[in-house]
Amino acid sequence: MFCKNCGKQIPDGAHVCPYCGVSQEISAPVKKKDDTNVLAIVGFILSFFVAIAGLVCSVIGLKKAPELGGNGHGLALAGLIISIVSIAFSFIAVIIYIALLGSFLAAL
Ligand SMILES: [Zn+2]
């Protein structure tokens, strides 16, 4: 390898250049900006079929979005909203069903 500062050849894996003394530590790897936010996509799709699973995946996808340069943020948010609406509708449907069943049984 070569020194980052003076360009002289130095031993591979050397932490400090023996010629100029400049640190050769590699800076933290740059986060990928083009990574696909898989959880956001999965959460979005699941929100239509399995609302609770979609909700969980969307929440995780939403938290991961900033790490991926905002990738999948909109999709995760959409999945989150669809999941919540879906759960709310299921909840209302169950209440209506129980109410109808109750009035039906009371009429017998
Ligand atoms: Zn050097």
**pLDDT tens, position by position, 23-75:** 888 766 655 556 788 999 999 999 988 989 999 999 999 999 998 888 899 99
What count of other Cβ atoms lies within 10 Å of the Cβ of residue 75?
21
How many angstroms is it from 24 CA to the middle of ligand 1?
9
> Which residues form the domain of 11?
1-30
Q: Read off the DSSP letter of residue 15.
A: S
Cβ-based neighbour number of residue 93 at 10 Å:
10
Query: pTM, whole model, 2 decimals?
Result: 0.57
User: Could you tell me the end-to-end alpha-carbon distance of the chain, in angstroms, rounded to an integer?
Assistant: 88
- 6 and 59 housed in the same domain: no
CA of 9 to the centre of ligand 1 (A): 8
Cα 10 to ligand 1 centre (Å): 8
Amino acid identity of residue 5, one-letter, is N
- Kindly state whether residues 58 and 102 are assigned to the same domain: yes
State residue 20's pLDDT score. 95
**89, two tokens:** 């509708």
Q: How far is the CA of 103 from the centre of ligand 1 (A)?
A: 86
pLDDT digits (tens, 9 = 90+) for 62-99: 999 998 888 899 999 999 999 999 999 999 999 999 99
Residue 58 in contact with residue 49, Cβ under 8 Å?
no
Number of domains in the chain: 2
Q: How far is the CA of 4 from the centre of ligand 1 (A)?
A: 7
81, two tokens: 């909203």
| Confidence at residue 103, expressed as pLDDT on a 0 to 100 scale | 93
Q: Are residues 13 and 54 in the same domain?
A: no
